[in-house]
Amino acid sequence: MEHETTTMFAVIKTGGKQYRVAANDVITVGKLEGEAGTAVTFGEVLLYADGAGATQVGAPVVSGVSVAGEIVAQTRGPKIIAFKKRRRQNSRRKRGHRQDFTVIRVTGISAA
């Protein structure tokens, strides 16, 4: 799977997961504190590629590079039903769960 090398992008780590982001991307990550419109900064940048084709790979993080974004919305995922049943025992448990997510728009990638 090839990506176009003309755009600047970075791979960030948040909530135990990694995301490939570029400017103006909208991503859904695990819940972060803050209302819509709040600015967030991701300092854990694992990989940074500028538009000229040069790539920096962190060990484990790239120093001097940060990704800025703003919170678009606080949302929730679909309902997951956890249903347990033991046959012939008259025993069953139904439990629902909805995961909390934060939608973020990446405003820019800044390299020192």
- pLDDT at residue 101, rounded to an integer: 96
Q: At residue 110, does pLDDT exceed 80?
A: yes
Cα separation, 58 vs 81, in Å, equals 39
What is the distance, to the nearest Å, from the Cα of residue 65 to the centroid of all Cα atoms in its chain? 17
- Global confidence as pTM: 0.80
Q: How many CB atoms lie within 10 A of CB 58?
A: 16
Encode pLDDT of 20-66 as tens digits: 999 999 999 999 999 999 999 999 999 999 878 788 888 888 888 99
Q: Where are the domains of the chain?
A: 9-111
